[in-house]
Structure 1
Amino acid sequence: MTTAVSALPFAITVALSATILPTPVTASISDELNTAVKQSSVSAHFRYRLEYVDQDNALDDAIASTLRSRLNIDTGKAYGFSALLQLDNVSQLGGDNYNSTVNGNTNYSVVADPKGTDINQALLRYQSDNGTVLSAGRQLVNQLNQRFLGGVGWRQNEQTLDGYRLQQSFKQGLSAEVGHYYNVNRVFGPEGAAADQRGSFNTALLQWQLSPAQQLAAFGYDFEFDSWAARSSRTLGIDYQGKLTSGPKLSWHLALAKQDDAHNAPLNVSHHYHRLSVSWALERVTLQAGQERLAGDGQSAFQTPLATLHAFSGFADIFLNTPDNGLRDNWLQASGKLNNVALAVTYHRFDSDAGNSKYGSEWNASAGYAVSKQLSALLKLAHYSADTLAADTTKVWLMLSYQL
């Protein structure tokens, strides 16, 4: 991509922002600033997690005890402008018997929670009365179900993007978003070879609330990685969610996408994606069945490098990279509440898209409980049984979250 093309989204953003700058107001500057100060907020959040990993291979079992401490400073608005600063510190409590991807303990299984202090978000934004929001800086970007773009909130160090974003709400339930980003702050940071991925990342999202029970979205992602050319691609797709308004409490989700090579990609590829799920909410339990397909041809496969990957294809994170033969994930899930404890159990069957390989199967379970408005607890388990891909893997998590 040439410099002129790379600068185009920024130029568009600047041009659009010029049309929405606030007109002169009668309130004094001091009144505006006083109001902004009164609306400002400072908050803190602490998340402790104990993670255990046991893999049937040569690696030693891993156990990681980490604490994420987060400070949020969110200013009020003055003439439509506001700012957000979010500081994170991930501390290791106890030993380092795990491979954080940075600490050099490669004889242990991976728990990708490196210790360190980082600026998670730092942005300036402008919000107009006509539904326009323009933001610039380091920011968290979660789109739709985060299958293609998300913050990987499960890891202690979130994934954020450096760049510019323009969001616009229209009438009749229509909204649009475009973004241009030049750096990805990955979960493996803040230090280390994999902490950042630089490049040119352009995103577009159009959402339409067709009715209270139906939502349609169209999206496009153009990714050019400077040093990860194998993930440079262009993806276009649609996402539809709906539910019955009477009778059985049935809801569904359908997503379709096509991905092609782009920019400096080393291979010519063209792959398809689909996700289909149906949920049935009964009196005490919700049942779900679904299938997700990421196509592959033996040499390459559909990839989602900036997704919140832990939320898909099993908690054990076996499929963070789609195998070259692709992936078909068929699952069944039951979820509900028992004495204020949120419970969920999911079974996955993983197979190849090309050929006839049975990768393996996985059981996931979770139990979450809100002790108070400030304190919550979560227990999660995952067990992957390998057939032809990877190794048998068991993971257990205990997490406590406290909000000040």
Structure 2
Amino acid sequence: MRALSRIGFVGAAALAGAGAGAPATAAETWGQALAEGKVLVDLRARFESVEQDGFASSADALTNRLRVGFQTAPLAGTAFLAEGVVVDDLVADYNSTTNGQTQYPVVADPADFATFNRLAVINKSLERTTLTFGRQRIVLDDARFVGNVGWRQHEQTFDALRAQWGGTKIKTDLTYASQVNRVFGPDSPQGKWEGDVVLANLGFTSPAGTVTLFDYYLDIDGAAAASTHTVGVKLAASKPLGKLTGSYALAYARQNEAGANAADVDADYTLVEGGLSFAKVGVALGRELLGGDGVTAFATPLATLHAFQGWADKFLATPATGIEDAYLRVSVPLGKRGRFTSTAAAVFHDYAADFGSARYGEELDLQLVARTERMTLTAKFADYRAAGLFTDTEKLWLSVDYAF
């Protein structure tokens, strides 16, 4: 991977230093490290259907993803991980963003390719410290700003050097990445972003809850609009309230332009959420705001965007006038039947502009999930009703995940 050469010297030096004087580990020879390693296999088959106003035909996609990998047992505190991914489609009546079928709505799961998903060296020889060098999965906090976009068939990964340290009440996470491998796959001109990405994350416990401080600097070659500097803080906690459990989350972030971004970005992010749960039934009410001034808006280009602002994925890019998302979320356990433990969830969103008085519409999301130790069955539906922005959209997903 050419991009890894940009951090190769630093990564090699860090791992070599970490390995020096490492304590004895389970594996004492290369043969033992291989024999005691673990095979990684997971697969997903998913049907996705999209009906969107403005298109004569609905999109239907039946895609399969297979990931196969191997991780050695640690030798001198160091393990090696290699994992490949193959994505194909059995029904291809959709715009994958690379297949040219623009007569259909987008389902962002390009197919018919195979590539490395992860290829990394992992060192844990230092106390409470993990150093990872290479192509890797990175999910910070709830993935609101940095995630792996695991909902899509080809996840987002990073060619990076990452250092993690965790104490009893404090955790630090520092990453330098030279390339972001995006969900659009290796055949897309948008399949990778090269540049300089620095991610700093510090979390600690306090009497009020868990506090997270973060500083994310993105300087992306050829994607100036995605080049931003974001600094913020989040507080989250859950507290017993008699037979109930209360929870809350508060967050604030400030974003400015970075790198080659010539725009004057000066945008705020705020989150206020409160919830109650009883007998595992959860209800949460929240308001999330990504600010905009009519020209530029708060952006989260490395986030797992599907998890936020509605599953219909209408707001993957923040409108220039920003977005205010007022939402109500309900989750209900359905118990265990046979080998499967099931849960149901519903989320209602009301969308409006931050700048001006425009409304963006409403959305209802529904989900049913049944799990065993290795298998997950998912049925999911999103219904977005437009109001002055975008178009009415309905999406349905049926998927089977299996890992062993």
CA RMSD of aligned residues (A): 2.1
Matches for 1:245-394 after TM superposition, within 5 Å: 245-247=240-242, 248-283=244-279, 285-340=281-336, 341-370=342-371, 372-394=372-394
Find the partner of 1:237 among 210, 232, 235.
232
Q: Is the 8 A contact 2:366 2:380 kept in 1?
A: yes
Aligned length: 393
Q: Is the 8 A contact 1:32 1:79 kept in 2?
A: no
Q: Is the 8 A contact 2:155 2:183 kept in 1?
A: yes
CA distances 1:138-170 after superposition (whole Å, capped 9, x unpaired): 011000010100000000000001121111223
SS of aligned partner of 2:34: helix
- Which residue does the alignment assign to 1:48? 45
Q: Is the 8 A contact 2:200 2:214 kept in 1?
A: yes
- CA shift, 1:245, in A, is 3.6
1:111 and 2:107 correspond: yes
1:60 and 2:57 correspond: yes
CA distances 1:91-126 after superposition (whole Å, capped 9, x unpaired): 1113x2100000010110000111111111100121
- Which residue does the alignment assign to 1:193? 189
Alignment partners' CA distance in 2, 1:194 and 1:34: 40
Query: Would the alpha carbon gap of residues 8 and 245 (structure 1) be closer, same or farther in structure 2, given more than 3 Å must change?
Result: farther
Query: Would the alpha carbon gap of residues 343 and 305 (structure 1) be closer, same or farther in structure 2, given more than 3 Å must change?
Result: same
1:164 and 2:170 correspond: no
Alignment partners' CA distance in 2, 1:117 and 1:283: 45
- CA shift, 1:323, in A, is 0.1
1:402 and 2:402 correspond: yes
- Which residue does the alignment assign to 2:70? 73
Question: Gaps spanning 5+ residues in structure 1: where?
Answer: 1-6
Query: Would the alpha carbon gap of residues 45 and 270 (structure 1) be closer, same or farther in structure 2, given more than 3 Å must change?
Result: same
Deviates more, 1:192-201 or 1:326-335: 192-201
Q: Is the 8 A contact 1:10 1:180 kept in 2?
A: no
Deviates more, 1:325-334 or 1:261-270: 261-270
Q: Is the 8 A contact 1:151 1:307 kept in 2?
A: yes
CA distances 1:326-345 after superposition (whole Å, capped 9, x unpaired): 00000001111124321001
Alignment partners' CA distance in 1, 2:155 and 2:241: 40
Give the letter aligned to residue 238 of structure 1: V
Query: Would the alpha carbon gap of residues 331 and 25 (structure 1) be closer, same or farther in structure 2, given more than 3 Å must change?
Result: closer
1:180 and 2:181 correspond: no
- Which residue does the alignment assign to 2:146? 149
- CA shift, 1:35, in A, is 4.0
**TM-score, structure 1 normalization:** 0.92
Q: Is the 8 A contact 1:22 1:80 kept in 2?
A: no
SS of aligned partner of 2:28: helix
Query: Would the alpha carbon gap of residues 120 and 205 (structure 1) be closer, same or farther in structure 2, given more than 3 Å must change?
Result: same
SS of aligned partner of 1:20: helix
- Which residue does the alignment assign to 1:138? 135
Alignment partners' CA distance in 2, 1:68 and 1:18: 35
Give the letter aligned to residue 344 of structure 1: A
Give the letter aligned to residue 373 of structure 1: E
SS of aligned partner of 1:230: helix
- Which residue does the alignment assign to 2:18? 20
Question: Gaps spanning 5+ residues in structure 2: where?
Answer: 337-341
1:82 and 2:79 correspond: yes
Q: Is the 8 A contact 2:47 2:397 kept in 1?
A: yes
Find the partner of 2:221 among 223, 226, 248.
226
- CA shift, 1:395, in A, is 0.1
